[in-house]
Structure formats: structure tokens, C-alpha cells
Chains A and B, each alone.
Chain A
């Protein structure tokens, strides 16, 4: 929950609330002359910016924003965790602005705005803050930071403009890996950090829990989307990765909500705050869970390929006095390949032998052949041999040694909740994730899913008069039960007011066993 002043909390439950909102766009993505306030350097009353409440001096706040709050007609934004699997999720926002003056119209449609060229471009930074006016002052807190996702939709008849935005998770989802990389025995948070740094994020832009899952081997391949890899890594943890209200990307592991302050009730919701409570239908029920994974791990250096299998011919022909490319495909990703040497020793390293005859009965010309270059890809190696003789030569032996990342045995677990199957029929879900490393975690994951989703009473949707400081994972009390917030959809609209739709998952507060604090035989549980 975002920290707010007591007066703010008082105002939000008042029967008469004066809503305050702020919408700012960096239409031109101008960062010139912007810097954060620094004691001893900046001057009070100067132009330097004060970072947000959490001192999140992120790159997003360095832009020069134009305050368009006076034109805001309606705002809507939502953020929802992917339950029960976890993973990568993005937030969305829709902004409706008054365009009577033509401020947001392109000039070719009669607009008068100096910013029209920027309005027409996607990827413009946008910040939404919301709160209440009390004591004659607008008191707003961060709600959404993102980028416009497509050109503005200008409605000339109604003199309105609609702008859609999504947070920076979309950038991760849509970015491609431009250089293949492999890793071995790394925790999820380390891999996420490396990914984000590759994508250009600075450390102030993300906040990562320590990973619980340690992946023995993985590969990020060129041409694939980063979003898929990040999503798989986070889902293997049963964790969540999302961007919070201030633009900070959060990775939360599966134990995150069992730690302080998430096992404390953040807010008691009374019926005087609730406009409607909706019990969802049974579509969300999951009562059969199957978890599959095929983890790999890097093996010791070993023989991974021999020339006898090459193109079915058994030998490789090297044309006279020139270079010849040899491509080798492997069955598994190769963490390392040793470069072949001439006349190496069998059983130790990559080596080759060359002869003037393909059956090895001619003259040994190994010393006249060399490896000009080697390029290793994930499951392929390109070798370029130089034949220094004036005659055709044959590679009669080519042994390639390396460290393959082999499958170490499939992870598999399947379970079901009979009482739910009897009532609702089979509602299966398959979780396929090669970053799941062992069957014991697969079993825990399956049981966690069934615990929350096998029966209908664990989910509920509340529509409330907005409490803008609520955040993902906050624990609230409603009708004597504890509920975890996993989705918030907010509307600021003169037609409906300032309201929120909360997606809730019923929780029983559990504390996990901590060495030095918990007692054997006590109530603390062993963490999943």
C-alpha cells in the first residue's frame, strides 16, 4: 500500500469527495535541462525535479512533461497479476481528453496545437496521478507510468481525443534478443537483472526479489522475444513481474506475500465503501494440474561429434589452396566447444587429421591444414578450414569435444482435487516450463494452484469507492475474511465517479518457518 497522509485516508471514506487527478505527457520526449534536485547543487525554487515519494528517480521522471490535467475528461487504468501461474503482466491505461481547442489535433485536420506532431506518435511517456482535493489542495499519488501505445484517436465531432497507453512491460514483451547467450546455474533474479541491463534498464528502474529457483542451464536465442524468456523464468518461480505505480519494475518471488508487511491487514473494507460485491462464475476453477519440465544441465567436456557422421559420406573434402566452411549441428545446446587442433590426441580434445586420399592411405597433410576460424552458435558450430596444399585434401578424422547441455530427466507431476472434479467436472491446466528444475517443486506448484482454484469461494470481485493507495498483493479484510488484491481496475469518470474494481483471492495468513525464530512443532509452515 502506498504511504499516504492520515488526512488522505480520511478523505477517501468521506461521503463527499473532491477528486483530484493529474495527467502529464512528455510529448516531445525532451530531457534537456532536466535533472533531479541535489543538495548543495540545486537551488530552491529552481527547475530541478523532486523524485517521487519512494525516491524512485527513474528515467521516466527525467522527461519534461506537459500537464494536460485541465483537459482530462475520463481516465481508466488497470493492473492485474496473472493468477494462478504468475509471470509477466503489463498495465494499461485509457485517457480521454477534451479537444475543443484543437490542442491534440494534427494541423491537417484543423488542429492548432504546437504539439500535434508528437501527439500522433506512439511511445510518448505518460504519468497519471490521482487522489483527492482537501484543505484546498490537490493531493495526488502515483497511479500509472507508461508510454502511449498507438496514435491518439481524434474524435472531431465530439471534440475529444482518446489515448491508450501501456507500461514499460510491453517494451520487454516486444523486444527481441539480438545476441544468443547461455547461462548455467543462476538464480532467477540474476538472470532477470542481466536481461534488463541488456535491454537498457538502469538499476533504479527495477526492484527484484532474490530468486528461489536456480536454473541449471538456459539459453536466450537470437530472434526470440525477451518477454517469452522473462515470462517463463518468472512462472517457473510462481512469481510475478510487473511495473508498479511509480514506474518501478518489480519481481516478486512466490514467498513475497508471506513476508512483512504482506501478512498484516492493510485495510478493513466496510460495506460503506463497497458499491457491489460479485462472486465470479466457475470458469476460473482448476481441479486437475499437470506440471511438466525438461530441465537441462551442462555436462563435463566430452566427445560431442565425429566426422564419420558428416553428410553421410564419412569424410569432409577440402578444396585445394582455399578455405572451406564446415557446419556442424548438435543434438543439444553446446555451452562450450573446444577448437580442433591438428594431430590432437584422441580422447582429450577436438582435433582433426587430413590426408590426400579419403581412405587415409595417401600422404598425411594435416600440418598443411589449419582452422582459420570457429563460430559457435547454440546448437551449431561453423568451422573454416584452410587447405594450404595445392591439391584436394580430405579430413579423415574430425572429433569435436565440448560441454553439452543435456536433458537431465523430465520433471512430471499430476494431481487433482476429487471433490472439485465431482462437482464441476475435470478442469485441467497444463504447466509446461523447462526452467522448473525438480519434481518436488512441481508437486508444490500443483498443490498451490489447487489450493486456490479448485473451489469457487476463493475468488471475489469488489467494486468500491476508490482507495488509490491500494497496491498489488495488499491484504484486506472484507466480511470477516482476508483477501489478497491481485487486480485493480480504476475509473475516474464523471459518469461513475472514482471507483475501483478489485480482484481478490481469499487468504489464510501463514508464516513460514524461520531459523532462530520459529519453533519445531509450532504453527509456522515450511515454505514452498
Chain B
């Protein structure tokens, strides 16, 4: 039961958003009806919020992120929790602002990991 990114177990985030991403154009016809054209399949986006994270946990994620950037290849994402599962899915990785609280030598940090289904 864990969060696996590129087959490596991550620390569980403090919170997580799961959203749908669709490509859609909407047309209003002369009759007043609204039509929608969907392009491609629905893609999921996961936003994982990490708070007060130790350096080692950040480094684990950052190493995968750097590998993603270097190789230019999507990584696998899988969740095997009891009440929330994600089958192994290729995802793009965004690792954005890392915020330090600066209250000691451990450099505990907050950051957001965004995984977008490829």
C-alpha cells in the first residue's frame, strides 16, 4: 500500500487533488443549441501537496524529476492504497516551488508535485 513513482515508493502527501483534463471546443449554433467536440481521451492530473518534508523525501522525488527531464520520458505512477488505487499510468512530472521554513538546520520544506497523465 503505497505511492509509487517510477516504481519508487514516495512518502504519502499531506493532501492530494485528482482532476480531469479534457480538450473540448464548444459551438453555439444558429438554432441556439450548444454542441461540444471532444478531442482525445480524458486525462487525469494529480496534485500532491507535501508539508514539512525532510530532505531525504524531497531528494527521492527530485531524483525522479531530474531523470524525467534528462531522459524526456514519462514515468509510471501507481497508487495501491486500500481505498484509493491508480493503475500503473505514464505521467509527466512537474516539481514546482520548494518552500523552506528556515527553523533549523534540517531545511524542512513544503512543495507541490504535479503528475499529468501522458
Q: Which residues in A have some Cβ–Cβ distance to B below 8 Å?
A: 14-19, 100-102, 112, 270-277, 465, 492-499
User: Is B15 interfacial (CB 8 A cutoff)?
Assistant: no
Q: How far is the CB of B22 from chain A (nearest CB, A)?
A: 9
Query: Which residues from B are CB-within-8-Å of A15?
Result: 33-36
Q: How far is the CB of A342 from chain B (nearest CB, A)?
A: 81
- Looking at A101, A276, A497, which has the most chain B CB atoms within 10 Å of its CB? A497
20 A-B pairs in the complex with CB atoms less than 8 angstroms apart: A15-B33, A17-B35, A17-B38, A18-B38, A19-B38, A101-B72, A271-B30, A274-B29, A274-B31, A275-B27, A275-B30, A276-B30, A465-B27, A465-B37, A493-B25, A494-B23, A494-B24, A495-B25, A496-B27, A498-B25
- Measured in the bound complex, the distance between the Cα atoms of B72 and A102 in whole Å is 9
Q: How far is the CB of B108 from chain A (nearest CB, A)?
A: 34
- Contact (Cβ within 8 A) A272 B39: no
0/1 interface trace, chain B 50-77, chain A, CB 8 Å (1 if under): 0000000000000000000000100000
Q: A15-B33, A494-B23, A497-B25 are in contact. List 19 more A-B contacts (CB 8 A).
A: A14-B35, A15-B36, A17-B36, A19-B38, A100-B72, A112-B72, A270-B31, A271-B29, A272-B29, A272-B33, A274-B29, A275-B28, A465-B37, A494-B25, A495-B25, A497-B26, A497-B27, A497-B35, A498-B25
0/1 interface trace, chain B 78-95, chain A, CB 8 Å (1 if under): 000000000000000000
Which 3 residue pairs are nearest across A and B when measured between Cβ atoms?
Answer: A497-B25, A497-B37, A271-B31
Label chain B's interface by main secondary structure.
strand
Q: How far is the CB of B87 from chain A (nearest CB, A)?
A: 18
- Measured in the bound complex, the distance between the Cα atoms of B72 and A14 in whole Å is 39
0/1 interface trace, chain B 90-104, chain A, CB 8 Å (1 if under): 000000000000000
Query: Which residues from B are CB-within-8-Å of A276?
Result: 30
Within 8 A of A (CB), among B1-47: 23-31, 33-39
- Measured in the bound complex, the distance between the Cα atoms of B98 and A484 in whole Å is 62
Query: Which residues from A are CB-within-8-Å of B25?
Result: 493-498
- Contact (Cβ within 8 A) B29 A273: yes
Q: Which residue of A lies closest to B25 (CB)?
A: A497
Q: How far is the CB of A73 from chain B (nearest CB, A)?
A: 9
- Contact (Cβ within 8 A) B30 A277: yes
Q: Which residue of A lies closest to B72 (CB)?
A: A101
Query: Which residues from B are CB-within-8-Å of A465?
Result: 27, 29, 35, 37
Q: How far is the CB of A25 from chain B (nearest CB, A)?
A: 19
- Measured in the bound complex, the distance between the Cα atoms of B26 and A275 in whole Å is 11
Q: How far is the CB of A238 from chain B (nearest CB, A)?
A: 34
Query: Which residues from B are CB-within-8-Å of A277?
Result: 30
Query: Which residues from B are CB-within-8-Å of A112?
Result: 72
Q: How far is the CB of A250 from chain B (nearest CB, A)?
A: 30
Q: Which residue of B lies closest to A132 (CB)?
A: B37
- Measured in the bound complex, the distance between the Cα atoms of B24 and A35 in whole Å is 39
- Measured in the bound complex, the distance between the Cα atoms of B30 and A273 in whole Å is 8
Q: How far is the CB of B3 from chain A (nearest CB, A)?
A: 25
- Measured in the bound complex, the distance between the Cα atoms of B29 and A275 in whole Å is 4
Q: How far is the CB of A241 from chain B (nearest CB, A)?
A: 33
- Measured in the bound complex, the distance between the Cα atoms of B31 and A277 in whole Å is 12
Q: Which residue of A lies closest to B24 (CB)?
A: A494
- Measured in the bound complex, the distance between the Cα atoms of B51 and A46 in whole Å is 56
Q: How far is the CB of A13 from chain B (nearest CB, A)?
A: 9
- Contact (Cβ within 8 A) A16 B30: no
- Measured in the bound complex, the distance between the Cα atoms of B28 and A499 in whole Å is 12
Q: How far is the CB of A264 from chain B (nearest CB, A)?
A: 25
Query: Which residues from A are CB-within-8-Å of B26?
Result: 497
Q: How far is the CB of A244 from chain B (nearest CB, A)?
A: 25
Query: Which residues from A are CB-within-8-Å of B29?
Result: 271-275, 465
- Measured in the bound complex, the distance between the Cα atoms of B39 and A495 in whole Å is 10
Q: Which residue of B lies closest to A465 (CB)?
A: B35
- Measured in the bound complex, the distance between the Cα atoms of B72 and A276 in whole Å is 43
- Looking at A101, A270, A276, A494, which has the most chain B CB atoms within 10 Å of its CB? A494
- Contact (Cβ within 8 A) A274 B37: no
Query: Which residues from A are CB-within-8-Å of B38?
Result: 16-19
Q: How far is the CB of B37 from chain A (nearest CB, A)?
A: 4
